[in-house]
Amino acid sequence: MGAMSERKPLIVGNWKMHTNHLETIQMVQKLSYRLDLADYERVEVVVAPPFTALRSAQVVIEQDRMRFGLGAQDVFWEEKGAYTGEVSASMLAKLAVGHVIVGHSERRQHFGETDEMVNKKTRAVLSAEMRPIVCVGETLEERESGQAEEVIVGQIKGGLARVDAESVSRLSIAYEPVWAIGTGRTALPDDAGLITEIIRETVSDMTNSEAAGSVRILYGGSVNPGNIKDFMAKKNIDGALVGGASLDPDKFAAIVRYWI
Ligand code: 13P
């Protein structure tokens, strides 16, 4: 599939509901001490703190000319209006946010997000010239009943509906099996390799092989310094979405340097 060599690895730290803005500044600084220019040339590194810490992270990243990107963990699809508590894509773009996680399984589980909502969010992020990281993943029951593939294909088709090929090439897709998140249990690299291949094929069917060849597909679910290499060795895995281990700067830096 084309454009494969152009896919720069992407490693994203999803800090979830951890770190206030002061802790975020410290984390960002600790991480910057542990990475150097050669790392950023090889890997695109992104941290996604909670909304309340984005401004502080932006300021410290810009002031100290740090090389990692800023991500947000969610977004609302409307541009503005009477939507108490929500945050729009243009508000995030103003904070120099480059990537936005959309449809994380925790949002699907705890906040009832559907594929249709994920699709609206994905399109809002693209309209604001940021890059969505669209999350998909099956539950344990779905996997055990042999439905994993069907679930993933459905989530991709729903999440990426009406997104044109040019826009698709700007997004990333994170395959995060729900049963592997925060459990210490990972998918087998071979299983993740198979599902990520199916993801790329599905994207190709929906658009074209060039767009599908440009999409970065990440693995997520209990990624740590000990297992990252095996995932990155898979042809269709271009990076990782890291939860728990990204809160430890030593571990996250070791994950970024997965080839060592
Ligand atoms: P853990 O790495 O803690 O399993 O979390 C994965 C995840 O949900 C990243 O978005």
Q: Is 221 in the pocket of ligand 1 (CB under 6 A)?
A: yes
Q: Is 222 in the pocket of ligand 1 (CB under 6 A)?
A: yes
| CA dist., res. 146 & res. 151, Å (int) | 10
Residue 128 near residue 90 (C-beta atoms within 8 A): yes
pLDDT at 98: 98
Which ligand 1 atom lies nearest to the CA of residue 182? 4
C-beta neighbour count of 162 within 10 angstroms? 9
Protein residue with least CA distance to atom 7, ligand 1: 243
What is the 166 CA–ligand 1 centroid distance (Å)?
Answer: 29
Is 104 labeled as catalytic in the residue annotation?
yes
Q: Is 176 in the pocket of ligand 1 (CB under 6 A)?
A: yes
Is 141 labeled as catalytic in the residue annotation?
no
| CA dist., res. 76 & res. 80, Å (int) | 9
Q: Is 74 in the pocket of ligand 1 (CB under 6 A)?
A: no
Protein residue with least CA distance to atom 1, ligand 1: 243
Query: What is the reported pTM?
Result: 0.96
Q: Can you give the pLDDT of all 260 residues of the chain as single tens digits? A: 444 458 999 999 999 999 999 999 999 999 999 999 999 999 999 999 999 999 999 999 999 999 999 999 999 999 999 999 999 999 999 999 999 999 999 999 999 999 999 999 999 999 999 999 999 999 999 999 999 999 999 999 999 999 999 999 999 999 999 999 988 888 899 999 999 999 999 999 999 999 999 999 999 999 999 999 999 999 999 999 999 999 999 999 999 999 99
Q: Is 182 in the pocket of ligand 1 (CB under 6 A)?
A: yes
**Could you tell me the CATH number of the domain that includes residue 44?**
3.20.20.70
**What residues make up the domain containing 33?**
4-256
| CA dist., res. 135 & res. 155, Å (int) | 9
Which ligand 1 atom lies nearest to the CA of residue 106? 8
- Our count of domains for the chain comes to 1
**Kindly report the CA angle at 20 between 15 and 24, in degrees rounded to 5?**
60
What is the 208 CA–ligand 1 centroid distance (Å)?
Answer: 30
| Dihedral sign of CA atoms 14, 17, 20, 21 in order | positive
Catalytic residue, chosen from 44, 99, 104, 106, is: 104
pLDDT at 187: 86
The three-state DSSP-derived secondary structure of the chain is CCCHHHCCCEEEEECCCCCCHHHHHHHHHHHHHHCCHHHHHHCEEEEECCHHHHHHHHHHHHHCCCCCEEEECCCECCCCCCCCCCCEHHHHHCCCEEEEEECCHHHHHHHCCCHHHHHHHHHHHHHCCCEEEEEECCCHHHHHCCCHHHHHHHHHHHHCCCCCHHHHCCCEEEECCHHHCCCCCCCCHHHHHHHHHHHHHHHHHHCCHHHHHHCEEEEECCCCCCCHHHHHCCCCCCEEEECHHHHCHHHHHHHHCCCC
Protein residue with least CA distance to atom 5, ligand 1: 243
